[in-house]
Amino acid sequence: MDTSVVKNIVKSYNTLDYQPKLKDLVASIFPAEDASQLCKLDLHRRISQLIIGHYPGEQVLKYDLFQEFRKKNLVAAFEMKVGSSRVDFVTINGHSTSFEIKSSLDNLDKLAKQTSDYSLAFEYNYVVVDQCHLSKISDKIPAQFGIWTFMNGRKVVRRPAVFNTAIDASAQLRFLTKKELSLFFNNLSRPADILQEFSGEAINERFKKSLKNRYYSRWSFVTTHAELILPIDLQFFFNRNIHPDYIYS
């Protein structure tokens, strides 16, 4: 399958597309098939299978991460804003862990800034990369960052992460809303006041609790309905929490 064709489908596809648009997309990919006879769910499924099987973008690696963690006792999130960056995936259980994805379609130009931002907030940090980046990635990330790849959906640990000792309590507070600050820091909503009242260790623990609280319901939704959600629509359902039947039927 021509990668450029699949790339155009990725750009055109939207989870909320109506059936005529989906039929046109499927017909453009598989002209020999009669897409007019497919129900809406089957149309979504055909597009999902194409993208997951033939598109080397971040959607596949995000789904691999979801599969890795969906049955574990933790809370996770997609696309958390951290400073001027946006980390692709975060998990929170006893520890906080960030995962930055670099697919074969991504360059590494922003990686230094991204890893700098994530080092301010999370206890463990990983870069999840396509094989094509392996030879050059280790020199572009901090030594404490781990490196993962996925081979046919199976995780391969290329380098384990080391506990991050550079966490910045004031930065962690900036990543929380005023409501979250008040809820988890005894009704204090000004970072300066919190820094006077709480140690860095206490702020880190409450930072993790606030993220678990923020993302618990969204993560629970996608793990509960995982068998009904197609891989390419995972982040849509994480953000919206609409029952899949309303979208696919």
* 219-245 average pLDDT score: 97
Per-residue pLDDT tens digits for 144-202: 999 999 998 999 999 999 999 999 999 999 999 999 999 999 999 999 999 999 999 99
Q: Does 79 share its domain with 197? A: yes
Question: What is the reported pLDDT for 247?
Answer: 97
End-to-end CA distance of the chain: 28
For residue 243, tell me if it sits in a domain. Answer: no
Task: Report the chain's mean pLDDT, rounded to a whole number.
Answer: 95
Q: How many domains does the chain have?
A: 2
Would you place residue 1 in the very low, low, confident or very high pLDDT band (cuts 50, 70, 90)? Answer: low
Where is the domain boundary, 17, 39, 55? 55
Per-residue pLDDT tens digits for 32-86: 888 888 999 999 999 999 999 999 899 999 999 999 999 999 999 999 999 999 9
For residue 232, tell me if it sits in a domain. Answer: no
The long-range contacts involving 73-78, CB below 8 angstroms and separated by at least 24 positions, are 75/211, 75/212, 75/215, 75/216, 75/219, 76/215, 76/219, 77/211, 77/214, 77/215, 77/218, 77/219, 77/238, 78/234, 78/235, 78/238, 78/239
- Got the DSSP string for 97-135? EEEEEE-TT--STTHHHHHHHHHTT-SEEEEEE-GGGHH
- Residue % of the chain over a pLDDT of 70: 100
| Structural domain boundaries, residue 219 | 61-223
Q: Does 85 share its domain with 174? A: yes
For residue 10, tell me if it sits in a domain. Answer: yes
Q: How far apart are CA 84 and CA 138, in angstroms?
A: 23
3-class secondary-structure state, position 156: strand
Q: Does 83 share its domain with 26? A: no
Q: Does 9 share its domain with 100? A: no
Q: Are 59 and 231 in contact (CB under 8 A)?
A: yes
Q: Does 50 share its domain with 77? A: no
Q: Does 13 share its domain with 89? A: no
Helix (H) or strand (E) holding 62: helix 58-69
